[in-house]
Amino acid sequence: MAEEAKVPLLEELLASSTVVLKEKPDHEHENEDHGILVRKVWIESKKLWHIVGPAIFSRIVSYSMFVITQAFAGHLSDHEFAAISIAFNVIAAFSFGLMLGMASALETLCGQAFGAKKYYMMGVYMQRSWVVLFLCGILVLPLYLFASPFLKLLGQPHDVADISGVAAICLIPLHFSFAFEFPLLTFLQSQLKTLVIAWVSLASLAVHLFVSWLFVYKLQLGVVGTAITMNFSWWVLVIGHLGYTVFGGCPLTWAGFSTKAFSGLWEFVKLSASSGVMLCLENWYYTILILMAGSLNNAEIAVDALSICMTINTWEMMLPLSFFAGTGVRVANELGAGNGRAAKFATVVSVTTSIIIGIFFWSLIIMFHREIALIFTSSKPVLQEVSRLSVLLALTILLNSVQPILSGVAVGSGWQSYVAYINLGCYYLIGMPLGYFLGWVFKLGLMGIWAGMIGGTAIQTLILIIITIRCDWEKEAENASLHLLKWENAKQGH
C-alpha cells in the first residue's frame, strides 16, 4: 500500500512542477534570451577588437609616415614638394594599392587554415604570396624607372616630372618592401598576433621621425633624402615582423623556408589577381574623382576643397579598413572551423559596430561643416566650397562604414572575383558616367561629379548587402573545407 501511495504523490509533484514551469512569465524567457545575446555580442566584440584595435593603430602609423614625409618635404622648394607628393600619391600609391589587394588573398587562405587548425599550411601560403608579389613587383618596376616620361605623358610640368622621376627611383626599395610586409601582416593578423604588429609599427614610426630629421634637416639631402626615409621605416616593419616570425614567435605556423612555396603558384596567382583587382578598383575610384575635378572651371578651388575632403575621408577610412581586415580574419577563421552560423554572427557584429562609428563621424561632419577645413586652409573660397561639399563627405563616410566591412566578408569567404566584377560595374559603368552626366550635362560641377560617384558606391554596397543576407553560411563553411583540401593538395604537389 505504501508503494501504491507513493506513485500518485510522485505524479502530483511532477504535475505541479510542470504547471510551475508552464506558468513561468514570458518576460523572464525574454530576459534570459537577451542576456545570452548580449554575452555573445560581448565575446564576439572582444575577438573582433583584438584584431581591429592594433590594425587601426598600425594603419594610422603607416599613413602618418607618408604625411610626415610630405610635411618635411614642405620645407623644400615648391617644385620639390610637388614632385615628392606626386611620387608618393601616384607612383608609390599605385603599387601600394595593387600589392595590398593581392596580399588580401592570404586573408582567405591563412584565416581559413587557422580556423581549421591546419597551422603548418600558413607558413607555406605566406611564402607563396612573397613569390607572387615579388614577381608582380618586378613587372611594375618600369613604372618607377620611367616615372618621369610617364608623368610628362599625363601632362605634368617637365621640371616637376623630372624631380618626381628621381624620387621614384629612390622609392624602389619601398616598392619591394610592400611585397614582403603585406603578406607578413596578413599572416600575423590571421593567427591573432596583433600586439607585435602594433609594437613594430611604433618602432618604425620612431625610426622614421629620426631618419627624416637626420636626412632632411641635418644632412640636407633634399628630394633624395626625403624619399629615402620611407625606405628605412618600411624595411623596419619587414625586418621586425619577419624576425618575430622566424625566431620563435609563430612556432605552430612557421616551419622554416620551403621549396613548396614554388608549387601551385598558378592557382595562387589567380586568387591574388582577383583580390588585387577588387581593391584597386575601389582605391582608384576616388583618385579619378580628383582628376575629373581638375577639368572643371575654377578647378584650383575645386581641387583644393576636394583634396581637403579626401584627406579627412582617408584619415577616417583607417577605421573601416581595419574593420575590413578584422572581419576578413574573423569570417575566415569561423568558416575554416566549419562554423557557418558563427561567421554570420561575426559579420553582423562587425557591420553594426562599424555603422555606429560611422554615424558618430557623420554627425561630427554635419555639426562642424564650417570649421573642418580650418585645419588645412584659411582661404575663404576654399572654406566655403568645403562647407558646401561636407554633406557629400558625411554621406561618403557613412557608406564607408558599411562597404569595406562587406568587402572583408567577401575576402574571408573567398568571393574576391565576384566582388571585382561588382566593383567594375557599379564604379566604372554606373558611378563614373553618372558623375560625368550630373557634373557636366546638368552643370552641377563638383557636387554633381561626387554625387554621381557616391551613387555607384551606394549601388555596390546595396548589392553586397543583398549577397551577404542571402548567403548560405553553412554551405560556405563546407566550401571552405573543400578549398583547404584543394590548397593542401596543391602544396603537396598532388
250: left (phi over 0), alpha (psi -120 to 50) or beta: beta
Q: Determine contact, residues 204/65, Cβ cutoff 8 Å.
A: yes
C-alpha cell at 283: 582605391
Please give the pLDDT value at position 20.
44
What does the longest C-alpha to C-alpha distance in the chain come to? 113
User: Which alpha helices (DSSP H) does 337-431 contain, by range?
Assistant: 340-367, 380-400, 403-413, 416-423
pLDDT of residue 139: 93
Q: What per-residue confidence (pLDDT) applies to 284?
A: 76
Which has more confidence, 208 or 2? 208
User: Which grid coordinates are listed for 290?
Assistant: 580628383
- Which of 117-121, 380-384, 389-393 is the most confident on average? 389-393
Write down the pLDDT at residue 350.
92
- Look at residue 444 in the predicted model and tell me its pLDDT: 86
Rounded to whole angstroms, the Cα distance separating 167 from 160 reads: 11
Closest CA to 424 of 266, 324, 274: 274
Amino acid 441 reads V
DSSP 173-187: HHHHHHHHHHHHHHH
Q: Give the tens place of pLDDT for each residue, 163-208.
A: 888 889 999 999 999 999 999 998 998 888 888 998 999 999 999 8
Residue of 111, 199, 94 lying closest to 147 (CA atoms): 94
Residue 201, amino acid: S
Q: Is the pLDDT of residue 349 over 90?
A: yes
Domain layout of the chain by residue ranges: 47-263, 267-488
Rounded to two decimals, the pTM is 0.78
409 neighbors 263 (Cβ within 8 angstroms): no
Please name the amino acid found at residue 40.
Answer: K
Highest mean pLDDT among 5-14, 72-81, 181-190, 208-217: 181-190
- The single-letter code of the amino acid at 299 is A
Q: What's the pLDDT at 1?
A: 45
For residue 11, pLDDT beyond 70 = no
Residue with cell 582628376: 291
pLDDT band at residue 12, thresholds of 50, 70 and 90?
very low
Q: Which H or E element spans position 142?
A: helix 120-145
Collapsing DSSP to helix, strand or coil, 104 comes out as: coil
Q: What is the pLDDT of residue 480?
A: 75
Of 411 and 231, more confident: 231
**Class of residue 118 by CB neighbours under 10 A (exposed 0-12, middle 13-18, buried 19+):** middle
Give the type of residue at 395.
L
pLDDT at 401 > cutoff 80: yes
CA distance 343 to 47: 12
- Give the pLDDT confidence score for residue 66 in this predicted structure: 76
Closest CA to 435 of 290, 297, 280, 301: 290
Q: Is pLDDT above 60 for 300?
A: yes
Report residue 449 as a C-alpha cell.
561629379
Q: What is the mean pLDDT of the chain?
A: 82
**Spatial separation of the C-alpha atoms in residues 88 and 96, rounded to whole Å:** 10
- The pLDDT of residue 488 is 62
Cα dist from 480 to 102, 286, 353, 394, 484, whole Å: 19, 33, 26, 37, 6
Q: Is the pLDDT of residue 370 over 80?
A: yes
Taking only the tens place, the pLDDT of each residue in 242-287 is 999 999 888 988 988 877 777 777 777 877 787 777 777 777 777 6
Residue-wise pLDDT tens digits, 307-348: 778 778 888 888 888 888 888 888 888 888 888 888 889 999
C-alpha cell belonging to residue 21:
514551469
How far is 101 from 251, CA to CA, in rounded Å? 27
Top mean pLDDT of 29-38, 155-164, 367-376, 457-466 is at: 457-466
| CA atoms of 235 and 184, how far apart (whole Å) | 12
8 pLDDT above the threshold of 80:
no
Contact (CB, 8 A) for 216 and 226? yes
Which residue, 245, 103, 233, is CA-closest to 173?
A: 233
pLDDT computed for residue 28 by the predictor:
56
User: How far apart are the C-alpha atoms of 185 and 421, rounded to whole Å?
Assistant: 26
> Which pLDDT band holds residue 451 (cuts at 50, 70, 90)?
very high
- Judged against a pLDDT cut of 60, whether residue 431 lies above it is answered with yes
